[in-house]
Chain A
Amino acid sequence: AQSVTQLDSQVPVFEEAPVELRCNYSSSVSVYLFWYVQYPNQGLQLLLKYLSGSTLVKGINGFEAEFNKSQTSFHLRKPSVHISDTAEYFCAVSDRGRFITQGGSEKLVFGKGTKLTVNP
């Protein structure tokens, strides 16, 4: 079974400052990793995903994340945030092996979320 820990429940930053949202995962098998964003009163949308290959993954809205297998981490970063980045961010993990053997239907395990507030 997998688990995800988002180390900060709330992160306040000033506009144009850099930000890092931390995510650690636990799994006994190979995993796929995702970051989702939820704007107020909306559903979730995918920011970026790590499936394989380069450990530095670039996503939408200038976000990027780095997969570190030895530290079981997948931290999200942005060099300069905007007010519009204020949202809740969720890290998620899925079992790579289960998906392949079952022929579909990834089961995502989500972290508890990090609320990013960007202040002027």
Chain B
Amino acid sequence: NAGVTQTPKFQVLKTGQSMTLQCAQDMNHNSMYWYRQDPGMGLRLIYYSASEGTTDKGEVPNGYNVSRLNKREFSLRLESAAPSQTSVYFCASSEAIKYRRDEQYFGPGTRLTVT
């Protein structure tokens, strides 16, 4: 049981390049999330998916797109990377059954540098 996995672990991009961050969970969770973590800013929600087939914007969605490929996988795409997107990106998932509150399980993160 691997939990939440993310690829790649590290990535360096030049300004204007595109890339997709991959996330997969094997816990049969309904909801998945993408966060970015910047020094002194805590974690900020980029996008989330309440269930397969749905996605919604979080606090900082500009410059990103997401795809909930199936129940297991939730990808984050940077179409034209900018230095302001240099950050550590975390994917998370939760069971999120109605009337229950379940914790979010986090992946190990992807450290992205845009030069």
- Which residues on A are within 8 Å of B, measured CB to CB? 4, 9, 32, 34, 42-46, 49, 51, 90, 94, 99-100, 102-108, 110-113
Contact = CB atoms under 8 A, between A and B. Distances in A.
Given A42-B108, A90-B43, A105 B103 contact: no
A105 B30 contact: yes
B103 A104 contact: no
B42 A51 contact: no
Interface in B72-109: 90, 92, 94, 96-99, 101-104, 106-109
B61 interface: no
A99 B51 contact: no
Chain B interface, DSSP helix/strand/loop, else mixed: loop
A42 B107 CA distance: 8
A107 B96 CA distance: 10
B40 A9 contact: yes
Contacts of A51: 101
A108 B98 CA distance: 16
Interface in B33-91: 40-45, 48-51, 58, 90
Classify chain B's interface size: 20 to 34
B101 A32 contact: yes
B42 A102 contact: no
Given A43-B109, A105-B50, A111 B98 contact: no
Contacts of B41: 112
A-B pairs with the 3 shortest C-beta distances?
Answer: A105-B50, A43-B106, A104-B96
Contact of B48 (A32, A105, A113): A105
A110 B103 contact: no
A107 B43 CA distance: 12
B25 interface: no
A112 B40 contact: yes
B4 interface: yes
B99 A100 contact: yes
Nearest to A103: B98
A105 B108 contact: no
Contacts of A43: 4, 90, 92, 106-109
Given A34-B103, A42-B108, A112-B40, A107 B98 contact: no
